[in-house]
DNA sequence: CTGAAAGCGCTAACAA
DNA sequence: TTGTTAGCGCTTTCAG
């Protein structure tokens, strides 16, 4: 019943030595066709599967790549995960998953855990990348790439899109549509690099168009629906009715839309709303969300390909890959009359 | 830099034998406090991490559980995944992920792959469970639980909710709201057990309320947004305007809503729509989706706890766990006047 | 081309 | 309580 067949059994049954069997399953050294066939037959017959544990133990290759995510059920995350998974499979790697709930402690723990499991590389998806983690990671010398909304100038492998430029573009897009009083609702706590960059993009666009920055229009929340809802509600409760709201995350943007509607305004007729990421729901929602498209699947695919290359000691020409974003013009933003 | 420290190094440095080191790290046999402390110190100093591969090789326990899913980015799936992940961590298991895209071949392959990786158990999320897989799985004698919308009477461990009853209840709910012409849009191809059960629930509710079954109101699609959209569109194009639509999946339900709106009708004023699963988006959408709540997170949690128990040879009183569902009364269904 | 033997890092008898 | 030793299943020299 169970897979107790070992290389020994195969060897015995085929009347050869275990090394010969090893050779045929790995194609590592020449073996007479005749013998080879014999071994192959026995393998098929017995249903023998080499034990990768034993193999890994000697080769020091586990064919495992660890993936650390803040939360599997976040759509930003799981679309990336799809890309990771698929490419991993192509290269015969398996994915070891670790959820951190954005907890710093947990992230560190996960790194350890994965390391212990002998993963050959790690892809880390994290909202906020911290020097501490990087040091830690680099110390253990395990190939890693980061997918993070922050492309800060840490000396690490990252795949991302240009936040500043994307934010600038979307803001400008909004301005071009006639909006001036543009709320800016961010999806992470203040003071991270990410926010700095985005804020910079936002401010720059405003400035270039001679719109005075109004700090009251800026809110910090989280990536979730509820956060967006909350931030928008606060704004409205403060009596601020913007022409448009730019929310740097789609789920939060949808939250914001709902807050707007609950307050008795219409989207986009009264207030336009733009999102960020172009997550699956973005095109399912009504109104369909105008947003910044990030190639989530590709980001995952690229990231893992990078660590695989790293594992194979290939040289990457770039530590930082920036994938192109695109503004997706849908229904939640309209021209302001 | 790298984690090359082995048990030997620790032993040498602590001036003890490797077995002693093994004992302290596993707490398996009494060791003098003094010696123990010494060893612990050295471990801390060197940053030694036991190699689980080597350990697994001898203990035959990999601390790995395989999870096979149709697609990570499906919200039904990833909410379950969250539950799985969390409980796994509690029990010190790691998750090996395999995506199948609902491909039968791929599912079989994944089982093999995971098996090869020495997983101790498998949780399988699959739309359709097939006898072939079950046989295969049972043949390799590896503990497994299935999370599937079908609770068919296979002799396997499953966690699910009662489809028939849930469908019945929701249909009845719709009828009680004054709807008679109720479209029934299913999220999988015809002829699976799942559909049979659901259909039975639907038909029964109709019958009990003296509503004649109209086959034209029944459509088969898939779980995705597009599928729901498509099915609904077809219906409308055929000139059938139902009072309500019951779509057995939230994303598809949202697709249906969009199709309805695109055709110039309003939800829920003209047509009510009900979903199934109560996925994250269900409460984000506008109108908020009236749906059958399935405890996704819990389903994952329960499923993996079951396989862990199975792994530990504990006896489960029930092969089949049915978790309670609940009708969530939100905005997409209203009383018909 | 093939086999014998060493050893990957660890656990678990078995002695001492 | 501790050390010695024999493997776990496999790859990989090294002889032949």
Task: For chain B, give every domain's residue range.
Answer: 7-59, 64-161+296-323, 163-293
A261:B95 CB<8 A: no
* Tens of each residue's pLDDT in chain A, 337 residues: 345 789 999 999 999 999 999 999 999 888 899 999 999 999 999 988 899 889 988 988 889 999 999 999 888 999 999 999 999 999 989 999 999 988 888 998 898 888 888 899 999 998 878 888 888 888 778 899 999 876 566 788 999 888 899 999 999 999 999 999 999 999 877 666 777 888 999 999 999 999 999 999 999 998 899 999 999 999 999 999 999 999 999 999 999 999 999 999 999 999 999 999 999 999 999 999 999 999 999 999 999 999 999 998 899 988 999 999 999 999 999 999 8
Residues of chain B found within 8 Å of residue A86, distances taken between Cβ atoms: 99
Residues of chain A found within 8 Å of residue B49, distances taken between Cβ atoms: 112, 115-116
Length B50 CA → C2 C1' (Å): 36
Which tokens in the block code for residue A214?
Answer: 């109004």
DSSP type of residue B140: T
**CB neighbours of residue A155 within 10 Å:** 8
Record the pTM: 0.88
Query: Which residue's structure tokens are 């409760």?
Result: A237
Which tokens in the block code for residue B171?
Answer: 């249909």
Residue of A55, A114, A117, A230 to mutate when probing chain B, most B C-beta within 10 A: A117
- Do B7-59 and B64-161+296-323 come out as alike in CATH topology? no
B79:A56 CB<8 A: no
* Tens of each residue's pLDDT in chain B, 337 residues: 345 789 999 999 999 999 999 999 998 888 899 999 999 999 999 988 898 889 988 988 889 999 999 999 888 999 999 999 999 999 989 999 999 988 888 998 898 888 888 899 999 998 877 888 888 888 778 899 999 876 566 788 999 888 889 999 999 999 999 999 999 999 877 666 777 888 999 999 999 999 999 999 999 998 899 999 999 999 999 999 999 999 999 999 999 999 999 999 999 999 999 999 999 999 999 999 999 999 999 999 999 999 999 998 898 988 999 999 999 999 999 999 8
Distance from the Cα of residue B198 to its chain's centroid: 18
Map residue A49 onto helix, strand or coil.
coil
A257:B286 CB<8 A: yes
CA geometry: angle at A193 spanning A190 and A197, to 5°?
95
Length B96 CA → C2 C1' (Å): 38
Give pLDDT, residue B163. Answer: 85
**D1 C1' closest Cα residue:** B31
A45-103 tens-digit pLDDT: 998 889 988 998 898 888 999 999 999 988 899 999 999 999 999 998 999 999 998 88
A216-243 tens-digit pLDDT: 999 999 889 999 999 999 999 999 999 9
| Residues B194, B188 contacting (CB under 8 angstroms) | yes
Query: Which residue's structure tokens are 């192959």?
Result: A40
Instruction: CATH number for A7-59: choose from 1.25.40.340, 1.10.260.40, 1.25.40.20, 3.30.70.2740.
Output: 1.10.260.40
From B260, which residue of chain A is nearest by alpha-carbon distance?
A286
Residues of chain B found within 8 Å of residue A3, distances taken between Cβ atoms: 115, 140
B72:A62 CB<8 A: no
Q: How far apart are CA A322 and CA B99, in angstroms?
A: 27
A284:B286 CB<8 A: no
**Closest chain A C-alpha to B85 CA, distance in angstroms:** 7
Give pLDDT, residue B1. Answer: 33
User: Smallest Cβ distance to A2: which of B95, B116, B141?
Assistant: B141
Domain B64-161+296-323 bears CATH identifier 3.30.460.10? no
Length A69 CA → D14 C1' (Å): 47
Burial class (CB in 10 A: 0-12, 13-18, 19+), A215: exposed
Full strand arrangement of the beta sheet holding A144-148:
A320-322, A157-160, A144-148, A121-126, A64-69, A94-99, B94-99, B64-69, B121-126, B144-148, B157-160, B320-322
Instruction: CATH number for A163-293: choose from 3.20.20.70, 3.40.50.300, 3.30.465.10, 3.40.50.2300.
Output: 3.40.50.2300
Residues of chain B found within 8 Å of residue A140, distances taken between Cβ atoms: 1-3
Burial class (CB in 10 A: 0-12, 13-18, 19+), B46: middle
**Closest chain A C-alpha to B147 CA, distance in angstroms:** 17
**Which residues 231-270 of A interface with strand D at a CB distance below 7 A?**
none
Length B269 CA → D15 C1' (Å): 87
A57 touches chain B (CB under 8 A): yes
User: Smallest Cβ distance to B140: which of A2, A89, A95?
Assistant: A2
Residues within a 7 A CB radius of strand C: A 16-20, 23, 29-32, 34-36, 54, 57-58; B 4, 6-8, 18-19, 22, 25-26, 28, 48-51, 54-55, 57-59
Give pLDDT, residue A255. Answer: 96
Closest CA to B251 of B281, B208, B288: B281
B135-144 tens-digit pLDDT: 888 877 889 9
The residues, any chain, with a CB within 8 Å of residue A186's CB and separated by 6 or more, are A195, A198, A199, A218, A219, A220, A221, A248
**Summary count for chain B: helices (H), strands (E):** 12, 12
A120 touches chain B (CB under 8 A): no
């Amino acid at each position: 019943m169970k897979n107790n067949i070992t290389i020994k059994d195969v060897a015995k049954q085929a009347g050869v030595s275990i090394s010969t069997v090893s050779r045929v399953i790995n194609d590592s050294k020449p073996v007479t066709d005749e013998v080879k066939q014999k071994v192959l037959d026995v393998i098929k017959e017995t249903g023998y599967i080499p034990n990768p544990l034993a193999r890994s133990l000697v080769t020091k290759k586990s064919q495992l790549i660890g993936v650390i995510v803040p939360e599997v059920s976040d759509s930003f995350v799981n679309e990336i995960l799809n890309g990771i998974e698929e490419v991993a499979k192509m290269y015969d790697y398996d994915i070891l998953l670790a959820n951190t709930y954005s907890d710093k402690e947990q992230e560190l723990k996960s790194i350890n855990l994965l390391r212990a499991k002998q993963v050959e590389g790690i892809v880390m998806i994290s909202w906020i990348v911290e020097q501490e983690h990087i040091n830690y990671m680099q110390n253990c010398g395990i190939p890693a790439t980061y997918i993070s909304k922050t492309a800060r100038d840490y000396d690490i492998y990252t795949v991302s899109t240009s936040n500043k430029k994307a934010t600038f573009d979307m803001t400008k897009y909004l301005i071009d549509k006639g909006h001036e009083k543009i709320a800016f609702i961010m999806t992470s706590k203040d003071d991270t690099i990410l926010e700095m960059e985005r804020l910079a993009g936002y401010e720059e666009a405003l400035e270039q168009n001679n719109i005075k920055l109004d700090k009251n229009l800026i809110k910090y929340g989280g990536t979730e629906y509820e956060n967006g809802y909350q931030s928008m509600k606060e704004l409205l409760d403060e009596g601020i009715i913007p022409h448009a709201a730019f929310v740097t995350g789609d789920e939060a943007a949808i939250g914001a839309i709902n807050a707007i509607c609950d307050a008795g305004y219409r989207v986009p007729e009264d207030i336009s709303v733009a999102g960020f990421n172009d997550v699956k729901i973005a095109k399912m929602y009504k109104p369909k969300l105008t947003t910044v498209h990030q190639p989530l699947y590709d980001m995952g695919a690229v990231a893992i390909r990078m660590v695989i290359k790293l594992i194979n000691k290939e040289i990457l020409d770039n530590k930082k890959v920036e994938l192109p974003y695109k503004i997706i013009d849908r229904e939640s933003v309209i021209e302001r009359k």
